[in-house]
Amino acid sequence: MPAPRDPAEPPRPRCDLADSPAATSQHDALHLADDIGRDKALIHLDTCCMNIEKNDLVSPPYEVGDRLGYVHTGENHRGYLGSGHLNFTAIFHATRATR
């Protein structure tokens, strides 16, 4: 879910934790976003990767807060949403609470 923005505003770079050797956690991504500039960088979270690497899927959106730019939703086995064991209701509520 991309963050709402002015349509005239150019896209901002995203730090994708799944594909970036510079940032492999939300903590790293926040530091990288600080280095880039708060208004210029957004953070991309991926539920499938978070399922493997994080203790829970709710705290990363809260920690990233208003820097959250995108959440890639993927089931734990990359199947259809709801066919695995991830609690998307909790993830969506946490994501919504950051707005």
pLDDT, residue 1, reads 47
* Domains in the chain, number: 1
| pTM greater than 0.85 (yes/no) | no
What's the rounded Cα separation, in Å, for the pair 80 and 97?
24
Residue 49 in domain: yes
SS (H, E, C) the chain: CCCCCCCCCCCCCEEECCCCCCCCCHHHHHHHHHHHCCCCCEEEEEHHHHHHHCCCCCHHHHHHHHHEEEEECCCCCCCCCCCCCCCHHHHHHHHHHCC
Is residue 56 assigned to a domain?
Answer: yes
Is residue 1 included in any domain, yes or no? no
In a domain, 74, yes or no: yes
* 5 belongs to a structural domain: no
Q: Considering the domain boundaries, does residue 26 fall inside one?
A: yes
Tell whether 83 is covered by a domain: yes
Query: pLDDT tens, position by position, for the chain (99 residues)?
Result: 455 556 555 555 555 555 666 677 788 888 888 888 767 778 888 888 888 888 888 999 999 898 888 888 989 888 888 899 999 999 999 999 987
Q: Is residue 6 part of a domain?
A: no
Q: Which domain holds residue 56?
A: 14-97
**pLDDT score, position 69:** 85
